[in-house]
Amino acid sequence: MQAIRQVCGTDPVPLHAPTFAGQEWAYVKDCLDSTFVSSVGAYVDRFEDELARFTGARHAVAVVNGTAALHVALLLAGVQRDDEVLLPALTFVATANAVHYCGATPHFVDSQKETLGMDPAALRDWLKHSSEQRDGVCINKQSGRPIRALLPMHTFGHPCDMAGLMEVAGEFRLTLVEDAAESLGSSYQGQQTGTLGKIGILSFNGNKTITTGGGGALLTNDTALARRAKHLTTTAKQAHRWEFEHDEIGFNYRLPNINAALGCAQLEQLPGFLASKRRLHDKYRDVLAGIPEVSLVSEPVGCHSNYWLQALMLGDQVASQRDKVLAATNAAGLMTRPVWNLMHRQRPYQHCPRAPLPVAEYLAQRLVNIPSSAGLA
Amino acid sequence: MQAIRQVCGTDPVPLHAPTFAGQEWAYVKDCLDSTFVSSVGAYVDRFEDELARFTGARHAVAVVNGTAALHVALLLAGVQRDDEVLLPALTFVATANAVHYCGATPHFVDSQKETLGMDPAALRDWLKHSSEQRDGVCINKQSGRPIRALLPMHTFGHPCDMAGLMEVAGEFRLTLVEDAAESLGSSYQGQQTGTLGKIGILSFNGNKTITTGGGGALLTNDTALARRAKHLTTTAKQAHRWEFEHDEIGFNYRLPNINAALGCAQLEQLPGFLASKRRLHDKYRDVLAGIPEVSLVSEPVGCHSNYWLQALMLGDQVASQRDKVLAATNAAGLMTRPVWNLMHRQRPYQHCPRAPLPVAEYLAQRLVNIPSSAGLA
């Protein structure tokens, strides 16, 4: 706690607070002055263009939040009722919920200690053992259901082993959808996360590296998919000067212009936020160097992490005291939290198929997030 | 067209633009300055309290848009997979989509000329003929599916015949959910729309009487339902200082604080907007008085309408020229539009059960919305 205090100071400190030090006022006021605060307005287009430019994706489609982006990404990946989708047990509940919204079943797999993300080797072993190919479709031998997609998530902003996962996806014919909700600005071997799979998604929730209040986006290099993403997220209304013709069942998932205006201002500051978050990591590393019971989670080899949330890994000798650490720090006004309860332990997902999860269990006992705002460094 | 020009002036005029003449910038700026733009923040609570006070509902729960509100309202009304829900064929597609999101099937019924809303007499006849009661549940004799709920929508802000509909709902044991997306500020026999059924919903989309950019709300007098609405719309996370335990499958449907800030400012101006929209109606009435081929849609007897969208009803002699009217006015920069294409003619809903729809067909041929912004009067 003293080490964290050395970095964060003595005032109460939240886990993650946004910084509004750029054009936020100007853009939001411009939006109000124009009265275009909703679906019509230039900031949505601009935000999409600038997201595409920053990430290197050919297309970005802005939506109302990361969960909505995930839902539509899975639909676009061909996930249908009674399919299964592979995802880490170690993730936020939105990843599993999005699978459920498609009428599909989450199928949980294990994580790696190095990346905190899906473990390609364990995944391959599991699929070899538990699935078979029928007519080019991966089938869960136990449930008989098609396993349609692979949905890795970049935990706290640290990129997964994407080369390994892309190899497994190809081998077992799974569509790769990237949950990059936490990792805007992270890169894997020089390529931005969210742009390595067929479709990727981002989140701009209030606790994320940049925020639009609530917001998200789909990223893809496939122009037809991007068009369909825009169509599905805007009630699937066909273009017409006045007729209301909807050619399929769509969603009201568009991002309001006022939220996009905030996003444009935030995106301009993203390089600065990323630099600050890296400095914060280095500060924590320095003050924690003398404490052998905990280690600081750092970016995997070959990756550049956005360091969205800084995390301590408790050593074996203190893992059993995780809740004491959480209670003491929170009581002292230093907001900390554990990683999410594993998905297969959540009531609605207890009966879903799953691989052995020894590493996820290990990590869930030991990971503690500490204050991570860009403004702290 | 000249008559409309007399009211709207000679500049291009949109169908509906918002007015930001109050505390919008002050509240949004306060929100940015506090950095609480997302899920944490005081404007969401305040907006909910003020909505409840204005409508007279015991509880209001703010959400990300009207579609999300409808989805959750139907779930709270007990709508389940393979149920049916009765709704008007004459509505915006979101009403039908929300039924589909629950895994249920829309069942379309006819409207009244007087209210543009569901016709209770035609509904009773249809249900007598096509449904039966089994163990206290209304069953569609043709499909064998339970008909769980009745979902009237207050078209353009004009209240439906709620007394008649509540009677039918009681008679056939249907839960009444009110789609008041268009009718904030409208009342039926002195009671605000959205508060007459078990649950009601509102929309604050950019084209609505007040806007939050994108937003919606659930209204209910039932405290347990309101609590569950809040729980379901915030990922069903159990309250805990740090643990992430989700006890059912929820949604990311909360309204961001920055959008709620806009809503608080807009709500303060609502009485003024309603007065303006009524004045606009009276102006249109005066200039249209000498034109026998069209009539202006006015509030039903016993009701007070918010006059969200002003509408012309084309007479028999000009109904066939509806598209010419639309083309000429839009080409001249006067934005007009027809009512929505009827739901049973939309590709995804063509095969759904439906009652005879003669009045809906009649209205769809004849209704034309004309510029309706509060700022015009």
Give the CATH number, domain containing residue B307.
3.90.1150.10
Residue B97 and residue B188 in one domain: yes
For residue A131, which phi and psi values (nearest 5 degrees)?
A: -125, 165
Residue A41: what pLDDT? 76
Structural domains in chain B (count): 2
Which residues in chain B touch residue A214, judged by CB atoms under 8 angstroms apart? 38-39, 64, 252, 254-256, 259
- Taking CB atoms and an 8 Å limit, are A36 and B244 in contact across chains? no
Single out the residue in B268, B297, B317 at which a domain terminates.
B268
The CA-CA-CA angle for residues B338, B340, B344, to 5°, reads 135
ipTM for the predicted complex comes to: 0.94
Query: Which of B347, B345, B341, B299 has its CA nearest to residue B322?
Result: B341
Per-residue tokens: A199:
């479709």
Single out the residue in A233, A268, A303 at which a domain terminates.
A268
Each residue's pLDDT tens digit, A155-187: 999 999 999 999 999 999 999 999 999 999 999
Residue B26: what pLDDT? 94
Query: Which of B116, B105, B178 has its CA nearest to residue B144?
Result: B105
Residue B172 and residue B196 in one domain: yes
Residue A130: what pLDDT? 98
Residue A38: what pLDDT? 77
Each residue's pLDDT tens digit, A116-162: 999 999 999 999 999 999 999 999 999 999 999 999 999 999 999 99
Q: Sorting pLDDT into bands at 50, 70 and 90, what band is B34?
A: confident
**Per-residue CA distances from A72 to A99, A120, A208, B71, B142 (Å):** 10, 25, 20, 17, 34
Calpha distance B287→A161 (Å, rounded): 69
Single out the residue in B242, B268, B294 at which a domain terminates.
B268
Most B-contacting residue of A38, A210, A325 (CB-CB within 10 A), to test interface: A38
Cα radius of gyration (chain A):
21
Which stretch of A37-41, B88-92, B119-123, B314-318 has the lowest confidence by average pLDDT?
Answer: A37-41
- Taking CB atoms and an 8 Å limit, are A211 and B17 in contact across chains? no
Residue B1: what pLDDT? 75
Q: Sorting pLDDT into bands at 50, 70 and 90, what band is A1?
A: confident
Q: Residue B294's Cα: distance from chain center in Å?
A: 25
Residue carrying the six token digits 């249900």: B127
Per-residue tokens: A228:
């369909």
Q: Helix axis angle, A257-268 relative to A24-34, nearest 10°?
A: 160
Interface A-B: count of C-beta contacts within 8 A? 181
Residue B236 and residue B348 in one domain: no
Residue B91: what pLDDT? 98
Which residues in chain A touch residue B346, judged by CB atoms under 8 angstroms apart? 245-246
Domain that holds residue B209: 24-268
**Per-residue CA distances from B251 to A95, A96, B63, B151, B246 (Å):** 11, 11, 10, 22, 11
User: Which of A64, A213, A341 is nearest residue B243 as measured by Cβ atoms?
Assistant: A341
Residue A3: what pLDDT? 84
Residue B288 and residue B249 in one domain: no
| Cβ contact A237:A250 at 8 Å | yes
Question: Is residue A279's pLDDT more than 80?
Answer: yes
Which residues in chain B touch residue A348, judged by CB atoms under 8 angstroms apart? 246-249
At position B147, the amino acid (one-letter code) is I
Helix (H) or strand (E) holding A367: strand A367-370
- Taking CB atoms and an 8 Å limit, are A348 and B248 in contact across chains? yes
- Taking CB atoms and an 8 Å limit, are A37 and B65 in contact across chains? no
Question: Mean pLDDT throughout B135-154?
Answer: 98
Give this prediction's pTM. 0.96
Residue A111: what pLDDT? 98
Which residues in chain B touch residue A94, judged by CB atoms under 8 angstroms apart? 235, 252
Half-sphere exposure of A194 (CA within 13 A, CB side): 32
Residue A281: what pLDDT? 97
Residue B102: what pLDDT? 97
Residue A142 and residue A106 in one domain: yes
Most A-contacting residue of B27, B36, B38, B262 (CB-CB within 10 A), to test interface: B38
**Per-residue CA distances from A357 to B59, B203, B245 (Å):** 43, 44, 18
Calpha distance A255→A63 (Å, rounded): 4
User: Residue A265's closest chain B neighbor by CA?
Assistant: B32
Q: Exposed (0-12), middle (13-18) or buried (19+): which is A239, by Cβ within 10 Å?
A: exposed
Tell me the pairing of strands A294-296 and A310-314. antiparallel
- Taking CB atoms and an 8 Å limit, are A247 and B28 in contact across chains? no
Residue A41 and residue A93 in one domain: yes
> What is the nearest CA distance from A41 to chain B, expressed in angstroms?
11
Question: Is residue B58's pLDDT more than 80?
Answer: yes
- Taking CB atoms and an 8 Å limit, are A211 and B251 in contact across chains? no
- Taking CB atoms and an 8 Å limit, are A252 and B68 in contact across chains? yes
Q: Which residues contact A320 (CB under 8 A, 6 or more apart)?
A: none
- What distance separates the 2 farthest-apart alpha carbons in chain A? 68
Per-residue tokens: A371:
């204050």
> What is the nearest CA distance from B358 to chain A, expressed in angstroms?
20
> What is the nearest CA distance from A321 to chain B, expressed in angstroms?
15
Residue B225 and residue B134 in one domain: yes
User: Which of B214, B235, B346 is nearest residue A94 as measured by Cβ atoms?
Assistant: B235
- Taking CB atoms and an 8 Å limit, are A256 and B213 in contact across chains? yes
**CATH code of B130's domain:** 3.40.640.10
User: Which of A20, A38, A336 is nearest residue B214 as measured by Cβ atoms?
Assistant: A38
Torsion of CA B152, A244, A65, B49, to 10 degrees: -40
Residue B59 and residue B116 in one domain: yes
Q: Which residues contact B326 (CB under 8 A, 6 or more apart)?
A: A241, A242, B336, B337, B338, B368
Question: Mean pLDDT throughout A311-321?
Answer: 94
Residue A292 and residue A257 in one domain: no
Q: Sorting pLDDT into bands at 50, 70 and 90, what band is B37?
A: confident
Question: Mean pLDDT throughout B165-172?
Answer: 98
Residue B311 and residue B201 in one domain: no
Residue B155 and residue B90 in one domain: yes
Output the 3-class SS for A102-145.
CCCEEEEECECCCCCCECHHHHHHHHHHHEEEECCEEEECCCCC
Q: Sorting pLDDT into bands at 50, 70 and 90, what band is B41?
A: confident
> What is the nearest CA distance from A249 to chain B, expressed in angstroms?
6
pLDDT above 70 coverage of chain B, percent: 100
Mean confidence (pLDDT) of chain A: 96
Per-residue tokens: B187:
């009342």
Calpha distance A194→A217 (Å, rounded): 10
B307: left (phi over 0), alpha (psi -120 to 50) or beta: left
Q: Exposed (0-12), middle (13-18) or buried (19+): which is A241, by Cβ within 10 Å?
A: exposed
